[in-house]
Each structure stands twice: as C-alpha cells, then as structure tokens.
Amino acid sequence: MRRSLIVFSLVVLCPFPSSAQDPNDAPAAQPEPWYSPKKYNPVKLIKHSAKSANDQLASNGDLEAKLTRQLQVQEILPQDKSLQDACSSFRELTECVASLRVSHTLQIEFSCLKWDVTGAKPKPVSDSCAGPSGGKAMGLTRSIDLLKSDTDAKSQARDALRRAREDIKDASD
C-alpha cells in the first residue's frame, strides 16, 4: 500500500513530458489586452501649450497685428511699443495681455509687473521696482497685491484675465 501511494504521488506531482510546451509552438503575437491603452490615454486629456506668448504671436501674424491695434486704440499699449516686445518672456499670451490691462487700469509700471509675473528682469526697469523674492515668478494676483496693496488683487486679476481672453478672441475672429 505504501508503495502504491508513493507511485501515485509521483505520477500526480511530476509534470508530464507531453504537457511541456515546445518553444516553437508558442503563439506568435501577444493577445489583445482587456483595456485599450491607445483609447484611454490620460496624457491626451491635458492641454499642453508649449508655445510662449511670442511664439503664439509669431505663428499668427494677423492676430498680432489686430491685437496690437486693438490694444493701442484702447490706449492699453503705447503707440511706439509692439506687442511682441511687451510680451517677451511671458509664457502665455493671455497672461501678457492681462498684465498690460492691469498696469493700465491700476497705473502700475508695466516693467515692474512684468518682472514679478515672469521672474525675468526686463532691460528698462526703474530702481523703484522690487523684483520677485528669490527671483521666482509669481502669479498675477500676488504681483498686484505686492505692487498695489490697497486694491482687491484677486478680482482685478480675474477681471483682467477675462477681458484678455475676450480681446484675444475678438482679434482672432
């Protein structure tokens, strides 16, 4: 009885030579996964705007001309200044136009505001401008609060960004 139990356990526990898979018999391609990695790619859901404000203006010369003229008529941008020069070192065009609007509305020097928002020191900057702490760029709201502390910075920034988007939309039509 003992011998038959050992033989039986060896038969059950030992792999059969016929059940081993030959490498030549392996399937040629991987089966389709149950999910579709191409269909649900979350990276595609995030908008990537790698273009700076100057790149956006340079790629669409008509937008630059219309927006420059529109801002000059509203006396937000001086007649002798181009929008590309004003928007150099800004990451987004809306941020640049909003900064121009805020500097006009609140009578803040644009070069000081530009320095705080972009973190890059513009060439013609007055000595009265205090640059951003640590040389890092800050948001428009924080910059307004720093340069003009007696105003409601949050509502001013929100209104300027809304009107900047409208200006860009009007100029692109």
Please give the C-alpha separations between residue 61 and each of 56, 68, 93, 142, in angstroms, as whole numbers.
9, 11, 14, 32
**Share of the chain residues as helix, strand and coil, in percent rounded to the nearest 5:** 55, 0, 45
What is this structure's pTM? 0.69
pLDDT of 5? 66
Q: Where are the domains of the chain?
A: 53-172
Q: How far apart are CA 134 and CA 55, in angstroms?
A: 27
* Strand intervals (E) in the chain: none
User: What is the full per-residue pLDDT of the chain (173 aa) written as tens digits?
Assistant: 777 767 667 666 665 555 555 556 555 677 776 666 666 666 666 766 657 888 888 888 788 899 999 999 999 999 998 898 888 889 899 999 999 999 999 999 998 898 899 888 888 777 777 778 777 889 999 999 988 989 999 999 999 999 999 999 998 87
pLDDT of 125? 74
Q: How far apart are CA 142 and CA 147, in angstroms?
A: 9
pLDDT of 170? 92
